[in-house]
Structure 1
Amino acid sequence: MNHSGNSGPGKATFFSRRQFLGSCLAGSASLLLFKQNLRSASSQTSLAATEPGDRPRIRLVFSHIPPDRPTWPNIGYDYESRKKELFGRLRSALPEIDFLPVTVQSQKEAEALLQQDQDIDGYVIFLLGIWTGAARAIISSGRPVILVDDLFAGSGEFLIEHAAARRAGQKVAGVSSSRFEDAVEAIGCFPAIKKMKQSRILDVTDSPGFWGNPQKIKQYFGTEVVKIGSAEINQAYRNAN
C-alpha cells in the first residue's frame, strides 16, 4: 500500500513500506558506523595512553595435571595447543597488558611461583583441568586474581575454589562462560586497577574527619587519600608566581 500526502503544519506525511524500511536501514547503518568509529577511537586512545612502563604485568597461569592422567576434559587432552590459542587471543584482545604465561600442575609449584614473582600486578588463572590445588594457593596469597573456568575443563575446581574464596573475602573474580569476551572483559580491569594504585586523592577540607574511609579506600583500591586544609591551599596560591 502506498499513501502520500503533503506535509505541513497539522498535516500527516505518509510513506510507502519500501520508503519506511529504506529509512530504517539507512539509520541503522549510520548508527553501526558511528559505534565502530567510537570503539576504534577509544581503543587507539587507550593504547596511546598506555606506555610500556604503565602496562600491568599479569601472571597468566595455566593450571592442569599431566595429560596422561584421567581428568577433565579427557585423558590425553592437548593442553599445549589450548594454551597457545588462549595466550594468542588474550594478547590480541588486550595489548595494553603484559601477560607472563606459566604452567602450574600442583599446589607446590604454585607456592614456588608466588615466592619468585616480583612486581606482578595480578594473576589470571585458567583452569584447563582440575584438582591441581594451584588456584587455592594463589588466591590465598591475597593477590588480585581472575579465576577463569575453561568451560567443560575446570568447572569442578572452579565451583569449589571460587565459592571458598568469596566466603573468605579474597580478592578474586570468577568467569565461567562460553563467551571468551566475558573473560576478556574481566581481565581488562587490570590497567584501571594499576592506575588507581598509582593515584592519590586530595581531600580538601577543614573538617576533622575525612571524606569516606581512607584506610578502606587504600585496602580495596590501593589509592592513597591525602587530607589538606584551606590554609595549605591559600599558602600555595600566595606562593605561586
Structure 2
Amino acid sequence: MKPSELSRRNFLNRCAVCAAGLAAYPMLGEAMNYYPMPVLSKPKVKPVIKTIFAYPDPAGPIWPNIGYDFDLKVADYKQKLLAGCKDAEFRFMTTMIGSDAEAKRIIEEDPEVDGYLYFLVGCLWGNLSETLAQSGKPMIMVDHMYAGSGEFLTAYASARRQKLPVIPVSSSDFNDVLKAVHYLVTMKMLRASTMLVVGGTPDPKLTEVYGIEVKGVDFKEINDRYNAVPEKEYKAKADEWINRSGKVVEPNLEEIRKSAAMYLAMAGVMEDHHAQAITVNCLGGIYSQQMVCAYPCIGFMELDDQGFVGACEADQRSTLTKLIMTYQAGRPGFISDPVIDTSKNQIIYAHCVAPSKVYGPDGPYNPFHIRSHSEDRKGAAIRSLMPLGQMTTTIEFDHNRKQVIFHQGVTVENVDEDMACRSKLAVEVKGDVFKLLNEWDQWGWHRVTFFGDLKREVETLAMLYGFEMLYEA
C-alpha cells in the first residue's frame, strides 16, 4: 500500500515518528466527549420507474394469436413486479399506439422519472420503442416471448448500435426482469450516497458522472472522534476481532484496541455525514503526524463486512468501484497492489486489508489473522484467508477515462510470504497473463477484486454509464 502524499522511502524512514506522535493526543480511555455507538445506514430511496405495457389490438391476426388476452398478461406482470421488487416505485401505463408522438407524450408527462421499464407485450411496429430508447434515461426492454419478439429484437439491436442505455430481457424467467430493475436501484442509491475522503481532495468529476456526494474530511475530525470513543466500546470491538481471528501474530492488545477505536471513529464520522463509504489517506496522515497513530486496516474490513465501504490511500476511484458493486452485487471489493507471476499464469492481489465476508453481509465469514502492517511492521492489519477454487472478477471504474478495466480468474492460493502486504490472494488468470502486463502505466497499480462471475453485471453498469469495457487479459 502506498501513501498518497509520501514516497515509500520517505514513509519508511519516518515510521519512527508514529510513537512520538502519540503524545499529541490523549491516550485511549481519556476521552472528554462521548458519542453513542455509531449506526450506519444505506440511502432510503427508490427509483421511480415509468412502466409501459405496449401491445396491439388483439382483434386481428397477430402474434401471439388473434383474441389474445393482453390485459390478463399485463395484470400478471404488475403482480410479479409489486411482489418481487420492493425497492422501486412503478408508475404503470398501457398503450396501443406505437407512434413517435406517443413516445414523446410519455416522456414529457413524467420528466422526473429515473428510467423506463418497457414491456413489449405484443408488437406495435411503430417508432415507440426507438423514441423511448432515445430519451437519455436508462430503459429496460422486455420481450413477452412469442408475442413481442419481432419488435424487441429489431428495436434492441438498433438501440445498442446507437450505444443507448438499454437493458434487454428476453427470458422465460421473470427473475431476470427483477434483476434488471436492480440496476436502476443501484444507480439511484449511488446518486443518494456520500463518500468521505479523509486527508485528500474530493474529486468533483465523481459527482458529475455518478451523482454521488463526495466530501472532504480533515484529520482533526477523525482525531476528535477517536479521542471520544468510550473505553468499553473499543475494548469490546477489539475482543470481538481477536475472538474471530484464527490467530494474532505481531500486534499487542493495545495496537488492536487502537485499531478498534479508529474503526469506531471512522464509523462515527460516517454517521455524522450520512455516508456509506470512507477512504483515508492513512499512511500519509500517520507519518505526517496529522492523524492519530492508529491503523484503520481492520476497521476497513469491518465496514466492508457490514455492507459499507472502507478504503485506504484516499483512492476515490477504487472506493467508488467498491461501492457501486456493493450495491449491485451485494459483495465487498478487495483493493490490491497486484503482482504477476507469468511462470504460473497467476496474478497475486496483495494488500494489508481485505474483507472477511467475501460473499457479503449475509454470507459466511472466512478465516483471518491479525498481523502488523507489513511495510513498516507497525500497527494492526489483516491477513484474510479467502476461499479457493472460486471465480473472481477484477475491475476499476474510471470516471475520467469513461472506461472499465476488467479481468477474471480462479483463486488458487492464499500466499504465505513475509514480503509485501499481508493478504495475498493468488488467482489463475482467465486469458493471457502476458497481455495482463500492458495497462498498468495507464491505470495505476490498484485493482478491485470481487468474488463471483460478475461479468454481466459489470458490462451492464458500464453500458448504462456510457463507459467502454477494456478487457486487459
Amino acid at match of 2:212: T
Partner of 1:157: 151
Q: Distance in 2 between matches of 1:203 and 1:162?
A: 40
Q: Distance in 2 between matches of 1:143 and 1:201?
A: 24
Kindly report which structure 2 residues correspond to 1:61-210, keeping only aligned pairs within 5 A, or say none. Answer: 61-104=52-95, 105-107=97-99, 108-130=101-123, 131-204=125-198, 206=200
% identity of equivalent residues: 32
Shift of 1:61: 0.5
Whether contact under 8 Å (1:218, 1:224) holds in the other structure is no
Secondary structure of the corresponding residue to residue 218 of structure 2: helix
Residues 117-146 of structure 1: per-residue CA shift (max 9 Å, x gap): 043121110101111422211110111111
Q: Distance in 2 between matches of 1:123 and 1:153?
A: 20
Q: Distance in 2 between matches of 1:218 and 1:155?
A: 37
Aligned residues: 183
Q: Distance in 1 between matches of 2:138 and 2:221?
A: 38
Q: Distance in 2 between matches of 1:133 and 1:157?
A: 10
Secondary structure of the corresponding residue to residue 76 of structure 1: coil
Residues 177-234 of structure 1: per-residue CA shift (max 9 Å, x gap): 1111211221233322211111233445658x95xxx647743x433445x4xxx604
TM-score scaled by structure 1? Answer: 0.65
Q: Distance in 1 between matches of 2:214 and 2:118?
A: 31
Amino acid at match of 1:193: M
TM-score scaled by structure 2? Answer: 0.35
Whether contact under 8 Å (2:51, 2:91) holds in the other structure is yes
Give the structure with the higher percent helix: 1
Secondary structure of the corresponding residue to residue 92 of structure 2: strand
Whether contact under 8 Å (2:120, 2:144) holds in the other structure is yes
4+ long deviations beyond 6 Å: 238-241
Residue segments in structure 1 that go unaligned for 5+ positions in a row:
1-47
Greater Cα shift, 170-179 or 159-168: 159-168
Q: Distance in 1 between matches of 2:222 and 2:197?
A: 17
Residue segments in structure 2 that go unaligned for 5+ positions in a row:
1-40, 229-473
Q: Distance in 1 between matches of 2:116 and 2:157?
A: 18
Let me know the Cα RMSD of the aligned residues: 2.9
Query: Which of 233, 236, 239 is the equivalent residue of 2:218?
Result: 233
Rg larger in structure: 1
Whether contact under 8 Å (2:137, 2:165) holds in the other structure is yes
Structure 2 residue 46 is the aligned partner of structure 1 residue 55: yes
Q: Distance in 1 between matches of 2:108 and 2:191?
A: 22
